Structure 1
């Protein structure tokens, strides 16, 4: 006789709930280790490719890390993984879903690297960089550049949700209903505007766009190969 599933299992499919658990565990571990002098975000976060601290695996590992000073950062991303990812995993299956999630994160990371490359063009010609409070060597300055968070993968999920469920409603700010297809277009345009106008502080807007672009390319390739249906759901 089939055993009744747990409430947690009914609320989210396996990959989604495992992603949420893993991210939360790593966030707590990051805080505990930081107090002991070990900075996981510095070790596993995404550094600029020309920095001494850059490692290739960081293109994946950075997506499982979040700001240790902000509970909102990890909770908002995990809420989005649950809200959009659950429906997508149920349609695509677990293996395709996790492949899509990771690839969107990599695409976001590569886009962030290109953004840094553009912003830092010519800096290698200088030995010292003035950061306002002190002078740093160029090598030390490049090591300070770091990106963490699952937002790139989340924006890929947002795109996929908008393509799969274009006429379903997303509640903006929990109160304003907006069809998913319009939500994706507006959010994408907003990220492009914020990125090109260099607003939003430390938020990696171009990385978000990179997650969307990577997700779009993969979905179009899968559709061309007939691996996923063009059908959308209301």
Structure 2
């Protein structure tokens, strides 16, 4: 049973789909959006120069562009499934803030590590934000049991998220899946974890936190019977 779409989740879905359509050759084309993809740091750092490879806004705009239909479909499917339950728990403003922090954090990790390892690459896609949502879902609804399609096994959401994180670490270290920004995936999860701990007033942050729900005070009805 699919969740009811909430306003911010719906807006994010629409924005990603519209921009993907505009990227197609019969409309504006991919080259039009190159200034909005996450470009590597090369030839020094001059963020506000027109000829610079990197521009600050790219830490957010890259997360709304996709390289192909499969890339878009996978990310939007997970946003559709995970976004509304989390938005119902947190509210619209906090959910949007969380998602954008994960997108920017993922881009920052990819940018910095890619520079340190001298492995520059242009990055685009919502995966950093999506992996942040996966992390949040695992922390909040971790005891729910899900059944995977392949392999056909059951496990808790928390176990699935942990295995997914470990897989991303292995992929990033070994390079088994080239062309995929595994560091951005891990960065999205890292920044999502830090933000949730900040909201909860847990280490490494102090016990003060901004007003608002730190976690699930009441689960949506459609989630209580999920097996």
Q: How high is the TM-score relative to the length of structure 1? A: 0.79
Q: Which residue of 2 aligns with 1:228?
A: 213
Does the C-alpha gap of structure 1 residues 116 and 26 become closer, same or farther in structure 2, counting only changes over 3 Å? same
Task: Single out whichever of 38-47 and 15-24 deviates more from structure 2.
Answer: 38-47
1:42 to 23, 30, 34: 34
1:197 to 162, 170, 174: 174
Q: Which residue of 1 aligns with 2:122?
A: 146
- CA displacement 1:101-140 (0-9 Å, x = unmatched): 000000000100122112218xxxxxxxxxxxxxxxxxxx
What SS does the corresponding residue of 1:146 show, helix, strand or coil?
coil
In structure 2, how many angstroms separate the alpha carbons of the residues matched to 1:15 and 1:109?
21
Q: Which residue of 2 aligns with 1:54?
A: 54
Point out where structure 1 has 5 or more consecutive residues left out of the alignment: 1-7, 122-141
Q: Which residue of 1 aligns with 2:69?
A: 71
In structure 2, how many angstroms separate the alpha carbons of the residues matched to 1:90 and 1:205?
29
Contact 2:37 2:124 in 1 (8 A): yes
2:190 aligned with 1:213? yes
2:148 aligned with 1:172? yes
Contact 1:42 1:146 in 2 (8 A): no
In structure 2, how many angstroms separate the alpha carbons of the residues matched to 1:193 and 1:89?
31
Question: Larger radius of gyration, structure 1 or 2?
Answer: 1
What SS does the corresponding residue of 1:170 show, helix, strand or coil?
strand
1:162 to 138, 141, 147: 138
Q: Which residue of 2 aligns with 1:3?
A: none
In structure 2, how many angstroms separate the alpha carbons of the residues matched to 1:171 and 1:22?
30
1:109 to 79, 82, 107: 107
Q: Which residue of 1 aligns with 2:205?
A: none
Q: Which residue of 2 aligns with 1:14?
A: 7
2:95 aligned with 1:97? yes
In structure 2, how many angstroms separate the alpha carbons of the residues matched to 1:47 and 1:32?
21
Q: Which residue of 2 aligns with 1:128?
A: none
Shift of 1:40: 3.6
Shift of 1:32: 3.6
Does the C-alpha gap of structure 1 residues 72 and 38 become closer, same or farther in structure 2, counting only changes over 3 Å? closer
In structure 2, how many angstroms separate the alpha carbons of the residues matched to 1:22 and 1:77?
13
> Which ranges of 4 or more aligned residues in structure 1 deviate by more than 4 Å?
35-38, 230-234
Contact 1:101 1:157 in 2 (8 A): yes
1:119 to 117, 121, 124: 117
Q: Which residue of 2 aligns with 1:83?
A: 81
Paired residues, what number? 201
Kindly indicate which of the two structures has a greater share of residues assigned to helix: 1
